[in-house]
Copies of this chain bind each other. A is one copy, B any other.
Amino acid sequence: MSPALRLAVLTGCALAAAPALAAGSSVVGENLLWLALILMAARLFSPFAQRLGFPAVLGELLLGVVLGNLGLAGFHTFGSIARDPIIAFIAELGVIVLLLQIGLETRLGDLVRVGPRAFLVGSVGIAAPFALGAFVVGPALLPGLSSHAYLFLGATLAATSVGITGRVFRDLGRLGTTEAQIVLGAAVIDDVLGLVILAVVSSLVQVGSVSAGQVGTIIAEAVLFLGGSIAAGRFLAARLAGRLASLDSGPSMLFALVLGSGLLLAWAAHAIGLAPIIGAFAAGLLFEPIFLRDFATPRVVQEIEPLLPASGRSTLVADIRRVLERQASHQHEHMIEPIGYFFVPVFFVLTGMQVDLRSLADPAIVAIAFGVTLAAVAGKLAAGLAAGRGNSPWIVGWGMVPRGEVGLIFATVGKQLGVVDEALFSVVVIMVIVTTLVTPPILTRLLARRP
């Protein structure tokens, strides 16, 4: 095809009145290649990383760091990917699916049992780093800034991002431990408290004061949303599952119900100002294996039955059926799995790509960032001390160290309000990078030592 015609066709597609129908457009092409490479690289990396004793998620993060910084070596091919809104959305779906999976593998009862403990850990994990950042490290390492700037630094240190930790716990099959449940519960509480801190600090900067009513409204909204959606959702899920199973006993309906609920609550959480992943996690808590027994009718039993000896066939069939049903009651989790394989690595590779190694260029800033990062880690480790007897304070503490996207969002809000300057922003970025990258290997080592 002549270049001119090729251009005409591509432009034609891109400008077509019907964007979906004309989706052979140029933007589609690059993204397909990208998704293919991330999907395959992530699955090839993970067994290698694990054989070397690294958590798989670190492989994906580092792959992202390398790709994202090839621009420094003169390759600018990948820069556009990191800024592509479609890839960003797929990445967001990835972390939503991950937290939905984590929610599905968590029993609400276990979470309620550790509730008070998680509340304590979450509160200390917000208060300690906030105080350290706003009143100690900020004024000491960055003298001369406004008190508002220190408040914002404290807010970014208080943030918790549960994606990294949840992934490590899940990869190692440790979501069932009390430590994991405390960290998950504390992360939910931190998301609500983080919202409160951001609101208070922003209000202080913009209006100069903060009203108790405002703070009360935020907390009430969040508690009502979480409590309401879990209560109503569990009531509905138990009944809907039975109805849907009678309509079509295949697992596709159940899959749609589970994944659809995840997306719906992620949207609802986002709509009231919480992180979408908190909604997805709550959606995962709605479904207990017991609701889903009606879907557990594996057709394989019918094929196996005639193979069995006639004497004692019925007991044997019942036994085999039980094995297969136990499998089948987790079928919805198995069906979400491929969705996770596809989406989740995109999130971690893209998170790695956001790491701009140029922020490490100024030694003075790196030195300050080092001090701030120490405070960030110390503050969350202090929360680990509240984990209670029998639980490893180190695992709980390190579990809350990664700041990920949440810290960056807080810093960005501060930047837009004119409170956080370029230097402080760079410091926060380095703190986010370090807390996000060092946690997976440390947590893996800590968990390996536990029986």
Contacts and interface: CB of A to CB of B under 8 A. Distances in A.
A256 interface: yes
Contact of A409 (B21, B95, B206, B271): B21
A341 B256 contact: yes
Main secondary structure of the interface of A (DSSP, over half): helix
Interface string A256-291: 110111111011001101011000000000000000
A416 interface: yes
A206 B4 CA distance: 10
A335 B338 CA distance: 6
Interface in A10-63: 11-13, 15-24, 27-33, 35-37, 39-40, 42-44, 47
A282 to B, nearest CB: 14
A218 interface: yes
A263 B33 contact: yes
A400 to B, nearest CB: 18
Contacts of A300: 323-324, 327
A212 interface: no
A394 interface: no
B267 A29 contact: yes
Interface in A190-226: 195, 198-199, 202-203, 206, 214, 217-218, 221
Nearest to A214: B2
Interface stretch (A131-139, A307-315, A380-388): A307-315
A86 interface: yes
A339 interface: yes
Contacts of A342: 259, 339
A304 interface: yes
B338 A32 contact: no
A20 B273 contact: no
A89 B5 contact: no
Interface stretch (A170-178, A179-187, A228-236, A245-253): A245-253
* Copies assembled: 2
A9 interface: yes
A302 to B, nearest CB: 10
A247 B43 CA distance: 11
A179 B197 CA distance: 65
A91 interface: yes
A361 B256 CA distance: 38
Contacts of A28: 89, 92, 270, 276
A416 B15 contact: yes
Given A85-B27, A342-B339, A198 B32 contact: no
A217 B304 CA distance: 56
B256 A347 contact: no
Interface string A59-77: 0000000000000000000
Interface in A297-323: 300, 303-304, 307-309, 312, 316, 319-320, 323
Interface stretch (A143-151, A349-357, A371-379): A349-357
A405 interface: yes
A203 B415 CA distance: 53
Given A43-B252, A252-B338, 19 more contacts: A1-B195, A1-B218, A2-B214, A13-B409, A19-B85, A20-B353, A21-B404, A22-B409, A24-B405, A27-B89, A29-B276, A30-B267, A31-B89, A32-B276, A252-B341, A255-B341, A307-B316, A307-B323, A308-B308
